[in-house]
Amino acid sequence: MSAPPPVPQGDYLPARRHRDLIFTSGMTPREAGVLTHHGPIRASDPLEDHADAVRLACRNALTAARATLAEGEAISAILSLTVYLVTEPGFTAHSRLADIASADLRAELGEAGIGSRAAVGVATLPGNAAIEIALVAAV
């Protein structure tokens, strides 16, 4: 039995499936609806300080995607990964933090876990989250 999808924090679905494509909403690092990591990410922070937040947001996105699957179906590929990071000026390691999400997806899905990717620095995210991740997956 798969895990239940993350609880939406507003008027939206955690993921939406259209035929063999799944689009997730942006997922923040929340456990049981509680935000566990807040922004901003500082240029002086060791990247490992934010690894758990990236992994949790990525796991939430993958869980939301999997919740749209019928019995016997599986995600065949991650087509796109977008990682939003609240960063202070001077932070330049966006791709290195996004690599943590890519590594988790590769570990979970093999080479099918690696698709196109964007790592984007932003001023703020909902609830003062440090990180938000959205996926597009194929079934």
Q: CB of 81 within 8 A of CB of 133?
A: yes
- Which positions ≥6 away from 60 have C-beta within 8 Å? 6, 27, 28, 29, 30, 133
Per-residue pLDDT at 2 exceeds 80: no
Q: Is the pLDDT score of 68 beyond 70?
A: yes
Relative to beta strand 34-35, strand 131-138 is unpaired
Q: Specify whether domain 15-138 bears CATH 3.30.1330.40.
A: yes
- The answer, as to whether pTM is greater than 0.85, is yes
* Domain definitions of the chain by residue range: 15-138
Please name the residue that has the structure tokens 């909403």. 25
pLDDT tens per residue across span 10-54:
899 999 999 999 999 999 999 989 999 998 999 999 999 999 999
Rounded CA gap, 47 and 6, in Å?
Answer: 25
Question: What is the average pLDDT across 54-78?
Answer: 97
What proportion of the chain, given as a percentage, has pLDDT over 70? 99
Are 135 and 81 a contacting pair, CB within 8 Å? Answer: yes
18 beta partners: 21
